[in-house]
Amino acid sequence: MSDEQTDKTTPGPQPEPLRFFGTTWVGHDGGYGLRRAGVAVGSLGAAVAGAFVLRFAHQGLAVADVGGFVNALVVVMFAVCTAIAFRKTWEGFTRRPADPSREDALRGLKAIGFLGSLLAYFVRSLIEAPGEKLVRAEYEAARVQYEKRRAGRTGNPMARRQKRKRP
C-alpha cells in the first residue's frame, strides 16, 4: 500500500507512520529501500561524527591535565551510557515501554550515550525500518480485530429487532 492508499478515507485502523518512512513500511513501497539505506548511512555517519567529537573532548581533558582518574571516569561513564542507550533504543524497536515515566527519566542518560542510540538505529535499519516490527504487529492485530468486529455485523440491527417484536 502506498501513502495514498492508507489515507483517512480507508475504513478500519490506519497504519502508524514511522520517522523517515511515513507509511511506506506497510507495503515496502514509495522508496522504502532507499529510505532504509539513507537512514543506515545517516545514522552511521552521525555516530562517526559523534565519536570524533568525543575524541576531541577527551583530548581536551588530556590537555587540561585533569589526571588519570578523571580521564578513566569519563571514558567509563560514556561507555556505560552508550551501552544503556543502545539497549534501551533496541528494546524500543521491539516493544512499547511498560513505564513511560521511567523512559523519560532515562532521557538524559540516553543523550549522554547518544552513540549507542545511533548505532542501534544503524543496526536496526540494516534489518528493517527501525520500529517496523512493533508497529506492523500492532497494525495487523488491529486489522484482525477490526475484521472480526465487522464480520459479526451483518444487515441492519433495527430490522432484526423489529422482527423479534412481531409474534
Convert the pLDDT of each residue in 79-121 to its tens digit: 999 999 999 999 989 888 888 888 888 899 899 999 999 999 9
> Mean of the pLDDT values across residues 53-64?
90
pLDDT band at residue 2 using 50, 70 and 90 as cut-offs: very low
Question: In 3-state terms, what secondary structure has residue 71?
Answer: helix
Amino acid of residue 19: R
pTM comes to 0.78
Q: Which three cell numbers stand for residue 102?
A: 521511567
- Asked if pLDDT for residue 6 goes beyond 80, the answer is no
Kindly tell me if the per-residue pLDDT of 160 is higher than 80.
no
Rounded distance, CA 99 to CA 161, Å? 45
Percent of the chain with pLDDT over 90: 47
Cell of 142: 488491529
Distance, in Å, from the CA atom of 141 to the CA atom of 92, rounded to the nearest integer, reads 19
Instruction: Say what the pLDDT of residue 49 is.
Output: 96
Grid coordinates given for 164: 423479534
Q: d(Cα 20, Cα 119) in Å, to the nearest integer? A: 17
Give first-to-last CA distance, the chain, whole Å: 50
Amino acid at the residue 27: G
